[in-house]
Structure 1
Amino acid sequence: MPSLKAIRNRITSVKSTQKITRAMKMVAGARLNRAQTRITELRPYAVKVQEVLSQITREVERAGAEVEAARPGEGSIEKPAHPLLVRRPEQRVLMVVLTSDRGLCGAFNTNINKRAEREWRERKDQGQDVQLMLIGRKGRDYFTRRGAPILEYLPGVWDKLNLESAKRVGTQVLQPFLRGDVDAIYLVYNEFKSAMTQNVTVERLLPAGAPAAPLGASEGTAQAEVAAEFLFEPNKEALLEQLAPMYVEVSVLRALYESTASELGARMTAMDSATKNATEMIDGLTLKFNKARQAAITKELMEIIGGSEALKD
């Protein structure tokens, strides 16, 4: 059995760790409130930007199809209304993986890294050329150890997260697509649901346009949107020039905010569990300490009684 001093030192050490985990939980909880407010306010705007862009893209494509049908056999090549709308067979894919710079947040980084690795290997098995753009040191370390094809690592994104950071990231993400080096770009991040729930999401960022259904929209809503008629001012092409880059910036900003809120929620939950585990450990060590002290006292009493009886003889 360990000595009383060793058990006492162990109890002191666990109490010190418990103070740290409790403080980290409180800090994460305070920051989570602000992060949750930011993402709650941004989501409707991001959803509406994508809906409007999807609607304009469909209108432009429909108009182009009508023109093509009116001039059959001329062999004209349809030109995309905007470079970000160019659609090519997905042979070269860029995955932007968002992880954190720090640990102590439960399975937050593990889940995102494993999902991104599975996506990478599945696409590779299908014959696609996949490259990774990493945000966060945990993702960089994970994929570096596995020899993944890392195109670029973007450091310092989480230091000061705002719209300017999203624009800088968006600019870096856009370059391979605009150069024609990749055919599609996907964001891989944790979508925030609650402090205890974060869902790993793989979302297509480019080519921009009409996905199967806009973010947050049901299938019925998407079908109703297709049938809707809108008037655009000044015109669809001018709106696309503004909306397409805005869509990229807002989508990247939303993914960053979602990831931040998810990290803080995961950290708060992990630190809460660690604090409770420390309490249980302290209780167990205290019981062990009391038993050891009682055994030591009993042993001393037995020695005293034995010595006293020996003197009587």
Structure 2
Amino acid sequence: MLAQFTQWPEKLDLQDVIPLLDLVKKAYLAQEIKSIDVLYTDFINTLKQETKIISLLPFTELKIEGLQGEDSLRVETKQPEKVENKEEYLLEPNQTELLDFLLNYYLEVSFFHLMLEAAASEHSARMVAMKNASENAKELVEVLRLEFNKTRQAAITNELLDITTAMKSLQK
């Protein structure tokens, strides 16, 4: 284990994932690890969360196609026509800096998104658990109230029987 990150703030911010991201990115770029796979809890709705594994790096064609979620905009692409132009384009900043920036941006947004999904799942599970606990407590209070009233009624009945028996024995 390289590091342990357990204390996350209540309200997550993109800056909160940077230390984790830096550690993972350095290990990946130094080829200490072969891939970046994240196990997280995916928030589906209030009552349903699923544990999933997503592989962030390395990129494969299948993974790139999978990045388009169900809600994302569908764009049909066509193969570009071949152009005989041999000119090179000048990129500012250079290709390496641009790709480094895009890689950092992709990892930051992906990690932050996964952290938010996990936080939403946790809060939802806690909310459902608290609701169930409250309902169970209300039911238990009602059961205990009925039991208390039955016991009290039995004690009153026994006292009345004792008084009635004592009165009858005194009258004889």
SS at 2:66's partner residue? coil
Shift of 1:301: 0.7
The answer on 1:296 being equivalent to 2:155 is yes
Contact 1:184 1:206 (8 Å CA) reproduced: yes
Q: Which residue of 5, 10, 14 corresponds with 1:163? A: 14
Q: Which residue of 31, 37, 50 corresponds with 1:199? A: 50
Report the more deviating stretch, 257-266 or 156-165.
156-165
Structure 2 vs 1, CA of residues 156 and 305 (structure 1 numbering), >3 Å: closer, same or farther? Answer: same
Q: Measure the CA separation in 2 of the matches of 1:199 and 1:290.
A: 45
Q: Measure the CA separation in 2 of the matches of 1:237 and 1:185.
A: 21
Shift of 1:171: 0.7
Shift of 1:255: 0.8
Structure 2 vs 1, CA of residues 213 and 263 (structure 1 numbering), >3 Å: closer, same or farther? Answer: same
Q: Measure the CA separation in 1 of the matches of 2:48 and 2:79.
A: 35
TM-score, scaled relative to structure 2: 0.79
Q: Which residue of 86, 108, 116 corresponds with 1:257? A: 116
Structure 2 vs 1, CA of residues 214 and 236 (structure 1 numbering), >3 Å: closer, same or farther? Answer: farther
What are the ranges of 5 or more consecutive residues in structure 2 without an aligned counterpart?
A: 81-88
Question: What is the aligned residue count?
Answer: 158
Q: Measure the CA separation in 2 of the matches of 1:299 and 1:179.
A: 84
Structure 2 vs 1, CA of residues 292 and 310 (structure 1 numbering), >3 Å: closer, same or farther? Answer: same
List 4+ stretches of structure 1 deviating above 4 A: 235-238
Q: Measure the CA separation in 2 of the matches of 1:275 and 1:255.
A: 30
Q: Measure the CA separation in 2 of the matches of 1:233 and 1:272.
A: 59
Shift of 1:238: 4.5
Identity %: 32
Larger radius of gyration: 2
SS at 2:3's partner residue? strand
Shift of 1:175: 2.7
Q: Which residue of 164, 168, 185 corresponds with 2:36? A: 185
The answer on 1:174 being equivalent to 2:33 is no
Aligned to 1:125: none
TM-score, scaled relative to structure 1: 0.46
Structure 2 vs 1, CA of residues 228 and 237 (structure 1 numbering), >3 Å: closer, same or farther? Answer: farther
Aligned to 2:86: none
